[in-house]
Amino acid sequence: MSEPICKVADIIFVRFELVDLEPQKEYMEHFGMILAHETEDAIFYRGTGTAPYCYVATKGQSNRFIGTAYRANALSDLEALAAAKGVSIVANTEPGGGHKVTLIDPDNIEIEVYYGLQPSEPISINPIMLNTGVDKPRENTLQRFGRGSDEWQLHDNRWVYELTSKVKRLGHTAINVADAAISVDWYANTLGFLISDNLLAPDGPHSIGAFMRCDQGDVPVDHHTLNNVQFLGEPKPAFGHAGFEVTDSVDDLMAGHYHMKTVDKYYHEWGIGRHLLGSQMYDYWRDPSGFTHEHWTDGDLLNASIPATDTPARDLIMAQYGPEAPASFGATMPSEEVDDFRAATPSLTDIVKMMEQQPK
Ligand SMILES: [Fe+2]
């Protein structure tokens, strides 16, 4: 394969347009993010990591996913993208400064690539220590994540678990694409993404997408920064989900689960389980507009020396453990419509079953 135009370092944030920002602000705080900046018509949320923000929404006429922002290693990468794609390098007028180019991917997703966006001071936490059957490093220290049972409070006669997850950063997006080969080639050639897993269709050896990661040479990076999938039937470009890494492992993920569950305002989409591709523990929730966001922890890290693996699409659906993958997973829809959709549509796990029971 020819050299890509550039090799981006990492993902920074996702950008949405929303009709009403207020319900989203409430959701983001329950989901475990911190309001970093706010204007009349935009909200910028951060995690505990160094990205100045990892979620941006602007007020608009519709609820829609606009796109994803990535971090370049050098200004010369922006110059190379500008020259190759016929776009301009512009000064970033939003918080954090720096410069960016804006591209459009084959599925009409806006791709912003930044250089010089000012990092934020990370927010430190006290990491927990786990005692296991193999190793017991924690002695004479009690395992507490907050104030103990004080974290359970009564709200209108209902118990609510008050600790949220502590989101650290955005780790990846998943997108549904019109043509897997075109999307995979575009991200490989434009942003330097490598294929971690090449997803093989259940009904043949052709690819239906990939899990792709950044190429940072010897430096290990997340197993996937992007998952592009071409759904069976008539694939339509669409947002799948945004995956946010929590700060402190399994208990941080579990705290968020019980907070979201007991707040009882949002649709639980899928989880808790442990993925095969990337190996993360996962938990998926829908926001007030029906977009899906993931809490994840303990993902695989790979450097550029690891070759692509051909992987059956079964492994995308069948986690190492966890509940069945619902029919609605990967589709954006208002939460009120999800139950009816699920009742009328076989789950993704059922689709795998049907395919495996077909006579060979
Ligand atoms: Fe994910």
| Domain 10-120+165-352 coded CATH 3.10.180.10 | yes
* pLDDT for position 360: 63
Helical segments of the chain, H only: 21-31, 75-85, 180-191, 249-263, 314-317, 335-344, 348-357
- Give mean pLDDT in consecutive 10-residue pieces for the chain, a chain of 360 residues: 92 98 98 98 98 98 98 98 98 97 98 98 93 97 90 95 97 97 98 97 86 98 97 84 96 98 98 98 98 98 98 92 94 95 92 78
CA–centroid distance, residue 320 to ligand 1 (Å) = 14
Q: Measured in angstroms, how far is the CA atom of residue 31 from the centroid of ligand 1?
A: 15
Find the 94 Cα to ligand 1 centroid distance in Å. 27
Ligand 1 centre to CA of 158 (Å) is 31
What does the pLDDT read at residue 333?
94
Q: What is the pLDDT at residue 205?
A: 81
Q: CB within 8 A of 41, min separation 6: which ones?
A: 21, 58, 59
> How high is the pLDDT of residue 147?
86
- Minimal CA–CA distance to 172: which of 210, 119, 134, 218? 210
Neighbours of 2 (CB within 10 A): 6
Instruction: Check residue 192 and give its pLDDT.
Output: 98
Instruction: Determine the distance separating the centroid of ligand 1 and the alpha carbon of 149, expressed in angstroms.
Output: 31
Residues 6+ apart with CB under 8 A from 308: 194, 195, 196, 197, 198, 210
Verdict on whether the full-model pTM lies above 0.95: yes
Please state whether beta strands 268-274 and 281-286 pair in parallel, antiparallel, or not at all (unpaired).
antiparallel
**Owner of token pair 């997340």:** 222
Q: Which pair of tokens denotes residue 65? A: 């996913």
The answer to whether the CB of 291 falls within 8 A of the CB of 239 is: yes
11 Cα to the center of ligand 1, angstroms? 13
> Do the beta carbons of residue 72 and residue 78 sit within 8 Å?
yes
